[in-house]
Amino acid sequence: MSPRFFATGMIAGDWLRVSVPYSGATVKVSRDYSTSVFLPQAASLAELDAGSGDKYYRDPGTGVLHLKLVPQLGRDYAVLYVTP
**pLDDT tens digits, 15-47:** 999 999 998 889 999 998 787 899 999 999 999
Contact 69, 19 (CB under 8 A): no
Give how many domains the chain has, as a whole number.
1
Strand order in the sheet with 4-8: 4-8, 77-83, 28-31
What DSSP state is assigned to residue 38? Answer: B
12: domain range?
Answer: 4-83
How confident is residue 69, by pLDDT bands cut at 50, 70 and 90? very high
First to last CA, the chain: 9
